[in-house]
Structure 1
Amino acid sequence: MLELIKVWWGKFLTLISIIWEFIKVRWKKFIFWRKKRYYRFRGLVWFRKIGNAFLTLIVLFIIYLFIVDINFLWLFGKSPGLSNISNPNQSVASVIYTSDGKVMGKYFRENRTPVTFGEISPKLIETLIATEDERFYKHFGIDFQAVFAALKDMTQGKSRGASTITQQLVKNMYKTRNQYSTGLFGYIPGVNLIISKTKEWTTAIKIEMFYTKQDILTMYLNTVDFGSNAFGIHTAAKTFFKTKPSKLNYEQSATLVGLLKATTTYSPISHPKRSMERRNVVLENLVARKIITQYDCDSLKKIPIQLNFSVEQSYDGDALHFRAYLDKYLQDWQDESGFDIFSDGLKIYVTIDSRMQKYAEEAVNKQMRTIQRRFFDHWRGQNPWQDENHKDIVNFVEDIAKKTKYYSSLSKRFDNNKDSIDKYLNLPHRMKVFDYNKGEKDTTFSVMDSIKYMNHYLHSSFVAMEPETGNVKAWVGDIDFKFWQYDKVAQAKRQPGSTFKLFVYTAAIMNGMSPCDKMTDKRVTWDYVEKGEPKSWSPHNANRVFTGTTMTLKHAFGRSINSVAVQLAEKYGIKEIIKYAHLLGIRTPLEEQPSLSLGSSDISLLELVNSFGTIVNEGVYHDPILITRIEDKDGNIVYQPNKEQIRVIPYEDAWLVTELLKGGMTEPGATTQALWEWDIFRYNTDFGGKTGTSSNHSDAWFVGVTKNLIGGAWVGGEHRSVHFRTGQLGEGSKTALPIFGLFMEKVLKDEKLKQYRGKFPTKPKETILRNYKCQTYIRPDTTARDSSDEALENVIEEIPLTDEIKSVE
């Protein structure tokens, strides 16, 4: 090994000596050549000496440009290469399109939407060139006339810019002053500026070689920052004037071009007077270049700057909770593909329909305003966070405050000193809080006051989707995105109450039962073992009454009789229920305990609604579909969803469970019959559904189904301890169901959405062996006594539905 090292070391020394000898020979020849040229130079007449010196300087300058561009000996740092120039990297906003072709919003860090040269007003082009680079069409990237003029002004103590539009494009697009000046010389103060300027020149020359003048102007206007979060001319025209780049006139163009000198100093928002003065200077430039007459200029100067200003934020537009969730939903795909939805200029086509989204938001807003008034009245003069004994929960507000970022900053600032922290938490200051009438209102609150105020509000979410395709058509994540950004469709998980009975009854049907099989409404005590300890559970019905009546499964499901659901769960086992919940679409882990049969384990609204969709889709499961496709900036499809569908339960069983859902509308006293309040029954459309309410009314649910569209709503407090005290006010049929009714009322009325009308099929595709054609009939009360529900339960009959018995269908 040592011998091998010696051999290689000898070869290395030999190579070094050869290189050194070569350099010495070449250096001697160069010195000899230079002496010869020098003696020749001394013999020249004076004017030829000047010409010779000038040519020498030009050659040396070209050599200097070359060695800087190639980063000779790593002295100057990397310069933009040909690949960077031919494929410039710039941050472009991604645009989200709805299924009906509307722009829903954007994702961006820099709000930039590229345009073509043909989409830019010629008046803007003239204004830009007249002000920023009057010899633009004559130079090749560097305007030496402007450079010499700038040097002359520097000798007189004046400041003047000499950068061409192409050089400014280089600074905007390639960031040569901070991304590339990393060579050894780049760390020398003053020298780094010279090097970065040199790189601007060399890159500008390359751009002029590879692009036309029109291309350069287009790229410049697409990349330049106009301030106010407006990157590029498309966004700037929209932000300042609510117009398109093609429609900009001279005075608007002059205002925007005037901003390029200093976006803050000449902002028409912050400094309207300065902006006006700068605009008029730009207009005078148009006169100087003979583009407009002095008369036209004077007329334009008299016109005030007429702004239509609106800054577009990343979360402006519609379906804000959906878009925030979509960002998280696509995170894994971005990590795998390398795309960035905030900078790669993608076109994201989503399944949301803009009209249905509007109807959903209106339905949530209208119903929640009504509920909120009831809630305020219900708790008037009291705090809604109370325990079972109607006492305020101790430290409720304090515990929430401790979870805030403000509390964390105070803890660090005062080293966890409680008195200091409490002082600032209770110190009033100006802030904005949510308000239904104004959207937001200015007020003076302490942090503790604001927590109390905001927790007097109830919240809601709603999602609608097509059962056959899984396409999500509407998504409302809460009552307001600005103040509550946590999405309550897919992210939040709460107790689903009786809506979970879908899975209990599915397990029963899958184990051979039918909708017409009968069970008795009776008290049930379920003995079980939890963590080695024997326990018992005795649930009650919503009205706390057990009638002792025998009823069909269809009737028990429609009336949401707890005792029957618990008997079924005890008969077939909680594991069996969990099995079918997961098969139908529940992805959240479920707690294996008896109370699961009544919906005690948290799940999300999205997975619940999708599970109902599996039943309506004849037992075939699919993931919820949020996106139809994603295209890159060149129009190539880079993402398509997985539309695989899997049969998870047989057709017959799905048909029978669908009959249970339909029983919510046909069975006497069924909770879904509250839908009759809305004008949705004249569009040849069948309905079914299931309400749900958690045990203390913290969570109210409703999932409504039709043949072609399903929708689910949740209503509750931000915290579970904030809720109505009675079922009369807080149950799902009173709070969540109306949202579905209001939504469907508008969807079915809309002729452009008539594809969502339709009845459930009356004839199955396959032979159904179990009986499902039964209908509960309640005999009229002919006595004078009170016909309460409990009394009526004793006079119900189950009538099989046959072709001869039409009157009871």
Structure 2
Amino acid sequence: MAKVKKKQTKNNQDFSSYVRWFWKLFITGTLFVALIFLLASWGAFGELPDYTVLENPKTNLATEIISSDGKTLGKFYFNDNRTPVGYNDLPQHLVDALIATEDVRYYEHSGIDARGTVRAFVFLGSKGGASTISQQLSRQLFVGVASTSTLSRITQKLKEWIIAIKLERQYTKEEIIAMYFNIYDFGNNADGIRSAASIYFDKEPKELDIKESAMLVGMFKNSSLYNPRDHRNPVGTKNRRNVVLDQMEKYDFITEEVKDSLQKTELGLRYSPQSHRDGIATYFRAYLDGFMKDWIKNNPKPDGEKYNLYGDGLKVFTTIDSRMQQYAEDAVQQHMPRLQAEFNHQNTPDRNPTAPFLELGQSEIDALMKRSMKQSERWRHMKYDLKKDEDEIIASFNKPTQMTLFSWKGEIDTIMKPMDSMRYYKAFLHTGMMSMDPQTGHVKAWVGGVNYKHFQYDHVKQSRRQVGSTFKPFVYATAIDQLHLSPCDELPNTQITIEAEKFGNPEPWTPRNSDAQYGGTLTLKNALANSVNTITARLMDKVGPQPVVDLAKKLGVEAEIPVVPSIALGTADLSVYEMVAAYSTFANKGVYTKPVMVTHIEDKNGTILYQFTPEARDVLSEEVAYVTVKLMEGVTEGGSGVRLRTKGADAYRADYREIITGYPYEFKNPIAGKTGTTQNQSDGWFMGMVPNLVTGVWVGAEDRAAHFRTITYGQGAAMALPIWGLYMKSCYENEDLEISKADFEKPLELSIEVDCENYNPDENSDPNMPDVEVPDELDF
């Protein structure tokens, strides 16, 4: 009995020692873990962010370009195409998908999931990891990816735990979720949820549906492996999405029926790449890049530092309307391939051995190509960056190389000599188009070319081309202002010679009509409508070139214009930007309003950094502006722009070339406008106006030696007017845009008669004008 009792006492002593050892180990282990955490928090294993950094995590935020109707036109960024959104901008099912897949006990822990951590240790991660959303965010923001060594992984995990706890103390659960969605790189320049929703589905985050949200959450596992654009894993992304849907059903975020239904669907991608050379309004964004750099140079932060266009998350609010911009680009894409096909048809080697050039000999073509070679980016790079000598550079232009060429039927991957590719591109027709509200100066659409990826030169503001007859309204307006002329006044349609002594002419000038038809008289309205050169020359002879140049300058023309009579026929080189601003003055009752592209700029916190100030000035009286507009209405009522009034189905040949038999516009509302065609058909223009929208279009080749042989296709009415018509047709179909169909507003006091049925020449005659009998019919 004593032995039994002694044995029990010994067992009790042994058990007590085990208990003591357990508590010693537990307390020691706890103290050790606490010490490790304490050392880590002190930075013993590497620097940790302090509270100021936690309050303002350092992430690069792209500058966002916002249209007048609230759409994102594009962004400025280097590596991070990131624009943050708030928690309230995330759909609930997107948050549910994240919680169900990544951290189902997210709302129950304070940064570290104890149950998940124990499970990960016990099963060595085979049954899932233990990283919470807060830990993953801390890794993305501050820790980074550790090396493969065990010590580095342990150190990283310690840092994640500490930062996760700090994040949970610093932010709400909702703020952490929003930060996590905003920081993640979804691939294909999709940095953050907003870019991802836009690039993969062409939506804002709030517009995502359940299956789209599930796909994006599935990418958190590995955005490279589960990239829907990666052809190496065509099924993986869909399978991963379905795993997320399984998780959502498992935790009762969706029903089994919804899960089964959605798992059978395809991904439904609407891939919309975002880069500086893709997307909408590319030429305008290139202009805006220069505008912003100039603004940043002259507007430092309060602390004296410069704003970072690519990382400070600025918001640039523009006047561009995304709908009108799209209509403008669509119009270009509809018309230009047809026009190009006809141009190519006329410039085959059989029809034109010097294609695409006309009227040039071989020596002239060689000189032109050599000049273009020296102006190319390839020449600049080799000469100034690589320091190559000229012989080596010239040799490189004749060495075949791999390249991608533009064509209207898609890009062409080929091997070609750079010199041959330059000649290939000389055959392409280009365009510039700008649309503006004449009252506010707000630019609504800006199309600088046919394809920004291959042709970066902007034909709205950079390029200046000969304007042809679109300059004539400046002459007419000057004459109306000085001589009080009416659109119904008549002038002889006979040739006139302006002598060399007059106006300082270098030599006598005798302009000809394009149709070589003369005789009788024409009203000013009829003469402008049909671009009769002799009438414009007579007006120039009356007023002189200096007042016309002065008026053009007041209308916003910045280019140099020679003070000679021949400018009456449009010999000056002007930009689409200048021409639209000038014509807008006529539509705005004689008040010039400088074009506006940016209304204001905000920083990432919404503080306004810049607010535009309107610039306007009186140039013409309201009466003179109105009479000039009524003159230009004649262009679309019975002149070179009359096809805007006609209805007829366009006919197309097999190669998409257009036979100009009719145009499907059939506009009924008042339209003032003017076509323009240069002497050898190298430049085609159309300027069109309604009371609240003025739009200008230019079309031509890079070199004036590449042009249509005849005026059938080489006139402004065939080259440029169709783009205007297609654009306006789309604008009118969208009633939300409220593009006017009304008459131009008549001045309260109008002393000049514009209705020729009520016209009395005795009340409006110029004593210097000869009386000429008007024949019943004019032979054109």
The TM-score, its normalising length taken from structure 2, stands at 0.75
Aligned residue for 1:10? none
Describe the SS at the equivalent of 1:671: coil
CA distance in 2, matches of 1:152, 1:529: 102
Aligned residue for 1:721? 705
Aligned residue for 2:723? 739
1:693 is aligned with what amino acid?
Answer: T
Matches within 5 A, 1:599-678: 599-627=570-598, 639-665=610-636, 670-678=639-647
- Residues 385 and 722 in structure 1, CA contact (< 8 A), matched pair in contact too: yes
Aligned residue for 1:232? 192
> In structure 2, do the counterparts of structure 1 residues 697 and 795 end up closer, same or farther at CA, with 3 Å as the change threshold?
farther
> In structure 2, do the counterparts of structure 1 residues 330 and 414 end up closer, same or farther at CA, with 3 Å as the change threshold?
closer
Q: Give how far 1:353 is off.
A: 4.2
Aligned residue for 2:284? 322
CA distance in 1, matches of 2:513, 2:163: 76
> In structure 2, do the counterparts of structure 1 residues 747 and 287 end up closer, same or farther at CA, with 3 Å as the change threshold?
closer
CA deviations on 1:70-107 (whole Å, 9 max, x unpaired) are xxxxx976x54434433444344565555556555555
Q: Which structure 2 residue ranges, 5 or more long, are not aligned?
A: 1-19, 302-306, 648-662, 760-770
Aligned residue for 1:209? 169
> In structure 2, do the counterparts of structure 1 residues 237 and 580 end up closer, same or farther at CA, with 3 Å as the change threshold?
closer
2:54 is aligned with what amino acid?
Answer: I
- Residues 433 and 443 in structure 1, CA contact (< 8 A), matched pair in contact too: no
Aligned residue for 1:756? 740
> In structure 2, do the counterparts of structure 1 residues 289 and 566 end up closer, same or farther at CA, with 3 Å as the change threshold?
closer
- Residues 65 and 198 in structure 1, CA contact (< 8 A), matched pair in contact too: yes
Deviates more, 1:198-207 or 1:574-583: 198-207
Q: Give how far 1:607 is off.
A: 1.7
CA distance in 1, matches of 2:268, 2:732: 41
- Residues 98 and 351 in structure 1, CA contact (< 8 A), matched pair in contact too: yes
Matches within 5 A, 1:358-507: 358-381=326-349, 382=352, 383-386=354-357, 388=359, 393-408=365-380, 415-416=388-389, 418=391, 422=395, 425-427=398-400, 429=402, 431-435=404-408, 438-507=409-478
- Residues 591 and 617 in structure 2, CA contact (< 8 A), matched pair in contact too: yes
> In structure 2, do the counterparts of structure 1 residues 122 and 47 end up closer, same or farther at CA, with 3 Å as the change threshold?
same
2:705 is aligned with what amino acid?
Answer: S
Structure 1 counterpart of 2:497, from 510, 513, 524: 524
Aligned residue for 1:766? 749
1:229 is aligned with what amino acid?
Answer: N
- Residues 358 and 706 in structure 2, CA contact (< 8 A), matched pair in contact too: no
- Residues 372 and 458 in structure 1, CA contact (< 8 A), matched pair in contact too: yes
- Residues 541 and 562 in structure 1, CA contact (< 8 A), matched pair in contact too: yes
2:368 is aligned with what amino acid?
Answer: F
CA distance in 1, matches of 2:624, 2:241: 77
CA deviations on 1:161-220 (whole Å, 9 max, x unpaired) are 8765324323433x5569xx9xxxxxxx99999998876555433321111233212211
Structure 1 counterpart of 2:678, from 694, 706, 714: 694
CA distance in 2, matches of 1:742, 1:249: 35
CA deviations on 1:107-138 (whole Å, 9 max, x unpaired) are 55534454554665777656655765677556
Aligned residue for 1:23? none
Describe the SS at the equivalent of 2:674: strand
CA distance in 2, matches of 1:287, 1:755: 48
Describe the SS at the equivalent of 2:432: strand
Aligned residue for 2:274? 313
Aligned residue for 1:796? 774
Q: Give how far 1:685 is off.
A: 2.2
> In structure 2, do the counterparts of structure 1 residues 491 and 430 end up closer, same or farther at CA, with 3 Å as the change threshold?
closer
CA deviations on 1:523-556 (whole Å, 9 max, x unpaired) are 32453799xx993252522437484756554454
Describe the SS at the equivalent of 1:170: helix
> In structure 2, do the counterparts of structure 1 residues 705 and 443 end up closer, same or farther at CA, with 3 Å as the change threshold?
same
Deviates more, 1:59-68 or 1:732-741: 59-68
Describe the SS at the equivalent of 1:535: coil
Q: Give how far 1:621 is off.
A: 1.2
> In structure 2, do the counterparts of structure 1 residues 716 and 542 end up closer, same or farther at CA, with 3 Å as the change threshold?
farther
Which of the two has higher C-alpha Rg?
1
2:332 is aligned with what amino acid?
Answer: V
Aligned residue for 1:33? none
1:318 is aligned with what amino acid?
Answer: I
> In structure 2, do the counterparts of structure 1 residues 506 and 794 end up closer, same or farther at CA, with 3 Å as the change threshold?
closer
CA distance in 1, matches of 2:58, 2:501: 64
- Residues 258 and 278 in structure 1, CA contact (< 8 A), matched pair in contact too: no
CA distance in 1, matches of 2:418, 2:238: 45
- Residues 238 and 266 in structure 2, CA contact (< 8 A), matched pair in contact too: no
> In structure 2, do the counterparts of structure 1 residues 423 and 115 end up closer, same or farther at CA, with 3 Å as the change threshold?
closer
Aligned residue for 2:134? 166
- Residues 434 and 454 in structure 1, CA contact (< 8 A), matched pair in contact too: no
CA distance in 2, matches of 1:124, 1:681: 46
Q: Give how far 1:620 is off.
A: 0.8
- Residues 776 and 798 in structure 1, CA contact (< 8 A), matched pair in contact too: no
CA deviations on 1:693-738 (whole Å, 9 max, x unpaired) are 2233221112122333332221110222211233343222332233
CA distance in 2, matches of 1:403, 1:416: 16
- Residues 398 and 448 in structure 1, CA contact (< 8 A), matched pair in contact too: no
Deviates more, 1:455-464 or 1:474-483: 474-483
> In structure 2, do the counterparts of structure 1 residues 248 and 593 end up closer, same or farther at CA, with 3 Å as the change threshold?
closer
Q: Which structure 1 residue ranges, 5 or more long, are not aligned?
A: 1-44, 70-74, 182-188, 778-792, 800-809
1:393 is aligned with what amino acid?
Answer: I
Describe the SS at the equivalent of 1:716: strand
Aligned residue for 1:85? 54
CA distance in 1, matches of 2:46, 2:421: 56
Q: Give how far 1:757 is off.
A: 0.4
> In structure 2, do the counterparts of structure 1 residues 535 and 262 end up closer, same or farther at CA, with 3 Å as the change threshold?
same
- Residues 632 and 672 in structure 2, CA contact (< 8 A), matched pair in contact too: yes
Describe the SS at the equivalent of 1:585: coil
- Residues 693 and 739 in structure 2, CA contact (< 8 A), matched pair in contact too: no
Q: Give how far 1:413 is off.
A: 6.5
Aligned residue for 2:233? 272
> In structure 2, do the counterparts of structure 1 residues 80 and 419 end up closer, same or farther at CA, with 3 Å as the change threshold?
closer
CA distance in 1, matches of 2:559, 2:505: 27
Aligned residue for 2:9? none
- Residues 211 and 267 in structure 2, CA contact (< 8 A), matched pair in contact too: no
Cα RMSD for the two superposed structures: 5.1
- Residues 691 and 703 in structure 1, CA contact (< 8 A), matched pair in contact too: yes
CA distance in 2, matches of 1:682, 1:252: 43
CA distance in 2, matches of 1:659, 1:239: 47
Q: Give how far 1:745 is off.
A: 4.3
Q: Give how far 1:622 is off.
A: 0.8
1:312 is aligned with what amino acid?
Answer: P
Describe the SS at the equivalent of 1:658: helix
Say whether 1:705 aligns with 2:692. Answer: no
CA deviations on 1:236-275 (whole Å, 9 max, x unpaired) are 4565567876798998777655644543345452542794
> In structure 2, do the counterparts of structure 1 residues 599 and 252 end up closer, same or farther at CA, with 3 Å as the change threshold?
closer
> In structure 2, do the counterparts of structure 1 residues 706 and 797 end up closer, same or farther at CA, with 3 Å as the change threshold?
farther
